[in-house]
Amino acid sequence: MKWTFSGAKTFLRCPRSWTFGLIANANAKDPLRHEAHILRQLTTPLGWLGNLVHSSIVQWGIPEIRQEGNMQADAIIEKTIALAERQEAFSRAHRYRTVSKSRSNGNFLALDLHERGEDLSSVEKETIRARIKYAFENLTKINEVTGLIHRSRTLWTERRFVWKFNGNQIEVKPDLLLIDNSGRPILIDWKVRDTDTPTAILQLGTYGLIITESGSIGKIRSEFFRLLEVNLLKGYLIEHQATKEMFDRADDYIFRTLDGMHRTLGELTINEINPWMVETTQYATRCIKCQFRSLCGKGEYYERRNIQPRLL
């Protein structure tokens, strides 16, 4: 079984939606599995904003900070807004149904509201642009983070780490992992959320535990990590204390969700999974935001009642 942090989150929200994700396959002859692949790629405007900022940090932000000590916010904002415009045109034309991510020249986007036949309002477009601007202006002002990126001994962006355990593949891909000059590992998680409440503590604890257990950066103790949550929209940095209790919680989270996934699938292979036989969420709000609602049927019930999400 493959375990990822986002997969576990989806499983806890709705086991059926997790199984739609499992059967999704771009190359499958079965039209259901192919459609599940298309739908799995749908995202909300809020998810899109996060992806845009993350990918621009990887592509342009980190190389410049690494070399220069900081970055020119105006230039990266301009490039990110231009990218957003290309992606939005791609999604509005429903090209995600015919062009794969790898053939889209970086312009791939599948917005859920385009799939529903709606469009972004001018206010929503303006909000996306304004938030891109805040995120990069804020990043240039968080000197502790830019300093760490500039001076660290080693740095990996979105590198995959795997802990193989009892036939399970437990995977994480942290936004940024640095090794400072004293050899201390530092995990950084970017958030692009309009909230003052830190949300990454479990995620960072899980990442620290899995990287430690993977053995990929040598023999270290999880408690040796520095765990930093950086909210780019609000411009703050929070350091979470890496404690034994935190890693015990992360361990419990991984094995509790993994056990639930095994019990849901039993001995079934991917080809034998029938998502309609799997338990569903009890919460209408989950269905309203779910990208598989047109397949599941349960979400369409709410759609017919005209309950629609607008997430910006």
- Given the rule CB under 6 A, which residues bind ligand SF4? 14, 16-17, 20, 280-281, 286-287, 290, 292-293, 296, 298-299
Please state, in angstroms and rounded to a whole number, the distance separating the CA atoms of residues 23 and 3. 15
Q: Is 145 exposed, middle or buried (0-12, 13-18, 19+ CB in 10 A)?
A: buried
Q: How far is the CB of 298 from ligand SF4 (least distance, A)?
A: 4
Two structure tokens written together for 196 = 């003052």
Q: Between 23 and 57, whose beta carbon lies closer to ligand SF4?
A: 23
Q: Give the count of beta carbons closer than 10 Å to the beta carbon of residue 267.
A: 6
Q: Between 224 and 276, whose beta carbon lies closer to ligand SF4?
A: 276
Q: How far is the CB of 233 from ligand SF4 (least distance, A)?
A: 27
Q: Between 208 and 299, whose beta carbon lies closer to ligand SF4?
A: 299
Two structure tokens written together for 310 = 């607008």
Q: Between 23 and 211, whose beta carbon lies closer to ligand SF4?
A: 23
Q: How far is the CB of 24 from ligand SF4 (least distance, A)?
A: 12
Please state, in angstroms and rounded to a whole number, the distance separating the CA atoms of residues 127 and 129. 5
Q: How far is the CB of 290 from ligand SF4 (least distance, A)?
A: 3
Q: Which of 16, 18, 34, 23 is nearest to 296 (CA)?
A: 16
Q: Between 54 and 298, whose beta carbon lies closer to ligand SF4?
A: 298
- The single residue listed with the structure tokens 């003052």 is 196
Two structure tokens written together for 3 = 């375990």
Q: How far is the CB of 112 from ligand SF4 (least distance, A)?
A: 12
Please state, in angstroms and rounded to a whole number, the distance separating the CA atoms of residues 140 and 71. 7
